[in-house]
Homo-oligomer: A and B are copies of this chain.
Amino acid sequence: MARFPSRRSPKAGLPPGTLVHVGAVRAEEVKVTLIRYDAMQVLEQIVDVTQCVAVAPPAVTWVNVDGLHQVEVIETLGRRFGIHPLVLEDVLHTGQRPKFEDYGEYVFLVLRMLYRRGDGGPLEDEQVSLVIGPNWVVSFQEREGDVFDPVRERIRSAKGRIRAYGADYLAYSLLDAVVDHYFTILEGLGDEVEELGERILSRPDPHLLSGLHSLKQTLLFTRKAVWPLREVLSRLQRGESPLFDRDTQLYLRDAYDHTIQVIDTVETFRDMIAGMLDVYLSSASNRMNEIMKVLTVIATIFMPLTFIAGIYGMNFAHMPELRWRYGYFVALGAMFVVAAGMLIHFRRKKWL
C-alpha cells in the first residue's frame, strides 16, 4: 500500500522558522551539485555548500541538493541565496503539499515526486523543493534520484533550448521532468488496473478484491500528490510571477496540460476500478443467488419425497397400503411424480 502520510511533528512548540529535518533519512550523505551555464559553456561539479553563490546573468546557477538531514547545509545555502527561514523550514519538513509561494525576489515551489521502491514495490513519494531566483535555481531532493538526469544531459549537450534560456526555463525543465515521470508511474498503474480487470472478468475471486482495494488506495495517494500541482501550475502559467517570462509561460501551460492529463488518467483509473468493483459485487451476488437456488431446489424436491418414505416407514398395525401387492411401486411412482412436478415447476420459474 501507499506510504502513510507523514504526520509526526517533533517541531510542536518550537518557534516558526526553526530548522529541523522532519521525515525519513533517505540518502546516506548530503550531496550538493553545482551547475553553471550560459549559451557558451557549462561548469558542473560536486561542491561544498560554501562554494555556492549566484553569478551575474546571463549565466545560470543551478544548485542541486540530494539529502536533507544535514540542517547546517540547508542553512548555509539559505543564507547565501537570501532565502527566508520559513522556506527552509518547509524544505526540511518533508510532508508539504505541492505549493507555490512568491517571495518577491524569488519563488518557492514544492512538488511531490512519485517513485516505486524496487520493481513493482509499493508506491512512495518524495518532496522536491525548488527555489527560483532571477538567474539561479536551488533544488532539494530527499534522496539522490535520476529524474533530473535528462535535464543535466540536455544542459551538457546543449540539446533543445535550455542553454539559450534563463533560470525560469531551467525551473520549468525540472518541473516538467517530475511531471513526465508521473506518466511512467501511471503506465505501471495502468498495467495493474488492466490486468486486474481481465482477471476479474474471467474469474471473480475474493482475493482479487484486496488487490482492488489496495490499488484504489494507491490511486488516491497519487491523486493527493498531483492534484494541488494543478493549482500551482495554473498560477505560474497565468504569469503571477514576473520571474517567468512570457515565452516560458507557454511551456508552463504545456506542463499544466500534462498535469491535467495525469489527473484525468487517475480519474479514469478510479472509474475503471469502481466499475470492476461493481462487476465483482454483482457477480458475487449472482453466485449467492445461485447457491440459494441449488439449496432450495434440492430441499424442495427431497423433503416431500423423504416425507412419503417416512409415512410408509411407520409401524402402525393397520396400514392398508402396506399390504397392497404393488403398494411399493405405487409409492415409488408417487415420489417420481412429485419430483417431476417440482422439476417442471422450477424449470418454468427459470431456476434450472
Tell me whether A340 is interfacial, beta carbon within 8 Å.
no
Sample of 17 further A-B pairs with CB below 8 A, known A90-B257, A312-B316, A317-B327 = A4-B194, A5-B190, A9-B183, A9-B184, A9-B187, A13-B180, A90-B254, A97-B264, A217-B275, A291-B351, A295-B299, A302-B303, A303-B303, A309-B311, A315-B315, A317-B324, A318-B325
Contact of A310 among B250, B251, B310 (CB under 8 A): B310
Tell me whether A41 is interfacial, beta carbon within 8 Å.
no
Contact across chains for A261 and B97 when beta carbons are under 8 A apart:
yes
A→B interface (CB under 8 Å): 4-5, 7-9, 11-18, 84, 86, 89-90, 95-97, 99, 101, 103, 149-150, 154, 159-162, 173, 176-177, 180-181, 183-184, 186-187, 190, 194, 206, 209-210, 213, 216-217, 220, 224, 250-251, 253-254, 257, 260-261, 264-265, 268, 271-272, 275, 278-279, 282-289, 291-296, 298-300, 302-307, 309-319, 321-328, 331-332, 351
Q: Which residues of B contact A251 (CB under 8 A)?
A: 16, 86
Contact of A286 among B5, B206, B295 (CB under 8 A): B206
User: For the complex, what is the distance from the CA of A76 to the CA of B223, rounded to whole Å?
Assistant: 39
User: For the complex, what is the distance from the CA of A293 to the CA of B161, rounded to whole Å?
Assistant: 67
Contact across chains for B309 and A183 when beta carbons are under 8 A apart:
no
Q: Which residue of B lies closest to A323 (CB)?
A: B317
User: For the complex, what is the distance from the CA of A58 to the CA of B272, rounded to whole Å?
Assistant: 50
User: For the complex, what is the distance from the CA of A264 to the CA of B278, rounded to whole Å?
Assistant: 24
Contact across chains for B159 and A15 when beta carbons are under 8 A apart:
yes
User: For the complex, what is the distance from the CA of A292 to the CA of B289, rounded to whole Å?
Assistant: 10
User: For the complex, what is the distance from the CA of A184 to the CA of B318, rounded to whole Å?
Assistant: 77
